[in-house]
């Protein structure tokens, strides 16, 4: 009860600070975006944004908004190349998921998250809890549009993810921060990179499997998340296409039975699961009696991707580029 009272007191103080310091309405504000069935309304461009996941962080940094960020959290990888200097000036509240109190201590006027597991029950806090303090909260459309997050695990896709969800997120955040031209430039650049990476490629008949983490019970990509975007872009086939779960956990016997031509391995720097790095994954694959005779393992057909490239983010484009380049290098394209 005492901790609850202290938190309530702290929350009240934070809300009062924003009310007292709120600037006069900016031109074109208030602005509203429709986000996952919720209305996100800002009365002026945010000046103390907190990003709760690396994906939203890298979008904000790519939009040149480092000077308007009060904190970041929940990282799986080093920041995207080219953003190191901008990121260095933004406080990191936590390497993993921060507490609600830690986020409030940053005095945010806007919060953004990549996943419902972060901005929702069991996460940092719900939208409603932030709203009680007058802090608008935005969730990436890629984690709600055509997706059911109500069960256990990482959710189930009702519809295949497309890059349009990522482009929508970029444009929404650009509109909220009044930098629409930067948003359009970023989207155009991402589209051009995908077009360039996949021009003339045909990997039909090639099978791929995506392993994110965990050597005991591996998290593999189902049909329809960010890895689905990559697979469709090159015309290949995901051997786990028969499940709509985002990242189902399966046994190694199932992995060996499906025997993909290529293994895409998450190369993560976090330490919350076993076999986070690609090196540890390869060490396991080449030594375990169940996996060492798989086609991709025997022929060492590995594609190493950052965790963020395997999530629905601007770095999914990086995943498309690296997968396409690897398939060409392995002589698997027509």
| Same domain assignment for residues 170 and 208 | no
> Is 13 domain-assigned?
no
Query: Can you tell me the distance from the alpha carbon of 307 to that of 302, in angstroms, rounded to the nearest whole number?
Result: 15
- Among candidate residues 96, 56, 154, 121, the one with its CA nearest the CA of residue 276: 96
| Same domain assignment for residues 53 and 164 | yes
| Same domain assignment for residues 246 and 308 | yes
> Is 17 domain-assigned?
no
> Is 31 domain-assigned?
no
Say which CATH number the domain at 269 has: 3.40.50.1980
| Same domain assignment for residues 42 and 104 | yes
Which of these three, 157, 174, 192, is where a domain ends? 192
| Same domain assignment for residues 125 and 216 | no
Which of these three, 192, 213, 232, is where a domain ends? 192
Condensed to tens digits (0 to 9), the pLDDT of residues 23-57 reads 445 789 999 999 989 999 999 999 999 999 999 99
State the pairing for strand pair 156-157/147-148.
Answer: antiparallel
Do 240 and 258 contact (CB within 8 A), yes or no? yes
Condensed to tens digits (0 to 9), the pLDDT of residues 198-210 reads 999 999 999 999 9
Condensed to tens digits (0 to 9), the pLDDT of residues 101-112 reads 999 999 999 999
Which of these three, 154, 175, 192, is where a domain ends? 192
| Same domain assignment for residues 231 and 315 | yes
Q: What is the pLDDT of residue 326?
A: 98
| Same domain assignment for residues 208 and 318 | yes
Residue 277 DSSP SS3: coil
What is the domain extent for residue 240? 200-329
| Same domain assignment for residues 89 and 177 | yes
Predicted TM-score (pTM) above 0.85: yes
Q: What is the pLDDT of residue 25?
A: 53
Condensed to tens digits (0 to 9), the pLDDT of residues 161-179 reads 999 999 999 999 999 999 9
Provide the domain count of the chain. Answer: 2
| Same domain assignment for residues 151 and 239 | no
| Same domain assignment for residues 205 and 282 | yes
| Same domain assignment for residues 86 and 43 | yes
Q: What is the dihedral of CA 264, 269, 272, 278, to 10 degrees?
A: 30
Residue 216: CB atoms within 10 A of its CB come to: 11
Tell me which residues of the chain have a pLDDT lower than 70.
1-25
Residue 62: CB atoms within 10 A of its CB come to: 22
| Same domain assignment for residues 224 and 180 | no
Residue 214 DSSP SS3: coil
């Amino acid at each position: 009860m005492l901790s609850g009272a202290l938190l309530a007191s702290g929350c009240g103080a934070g809300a009062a600070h924003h009310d007292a310091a709120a600037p006069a309405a900016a031109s074109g504000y208030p602005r509203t975006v429709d986000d996952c069935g919720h209305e996100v309304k800002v009365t002026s461009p945010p000046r103390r944004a907190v990003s709760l996941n690396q994906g939203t962080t890298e979008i904000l940094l790519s939009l040149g908004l480092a000077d308007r960020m009060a904190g970041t959290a929940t990282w799986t990888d080093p920041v995207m190349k080219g953003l190191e200097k901008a990121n260095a000036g933004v406080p990191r509240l936590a390497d993993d998921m921060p507490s609600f109190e830690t986020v409030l201590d940053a005095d945010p006027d806007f919060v953004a998250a990549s996943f419902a597991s972060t901005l929702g029950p069991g996460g940092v806090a719900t939208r409603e809890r932030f709203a009680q303090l007058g802090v608008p909260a935005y969730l990436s459309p890629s984690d709600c549009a055509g997706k059911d997050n109500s069960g256990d695990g990482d959710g189930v896709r009702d519809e295949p993810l497309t890059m349009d969800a990522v482009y929508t997120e970029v444009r929404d955040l650009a509109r909220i921060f009044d930098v629409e031209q930067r948003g359009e430039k970023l989207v155009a650049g991402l589209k051009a990179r995908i077009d360039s990476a996949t021009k003339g490629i045909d990997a039909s008949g090639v099978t791929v499997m995506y392993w994110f983490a965990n050597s005991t019970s591996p998290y593999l990509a189902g049909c329809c998340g960010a890895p689905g975007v990559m697979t469709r872009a090159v015309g290949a086939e995901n051997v786990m296409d028969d499940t709509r779960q985002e990242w189902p956990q399966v046994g190694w016997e199932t992995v060996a039975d499906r025997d993909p031509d290529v293994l895409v391995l998450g190369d993560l720097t976090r330490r919350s699961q076993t076999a986070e790095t690609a090196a540890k994954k390869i060490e396991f694959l080449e030594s375990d009696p169940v996996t060492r005779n798989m086609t991709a393992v025997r022929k060492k057909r590995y594609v190493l991707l950052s965790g963020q490239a395997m999530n629905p983010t601007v770095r999914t484009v990086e995943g498309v580029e690296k997968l396409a380049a690897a398939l060409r290098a392995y002589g698997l394209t027509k």
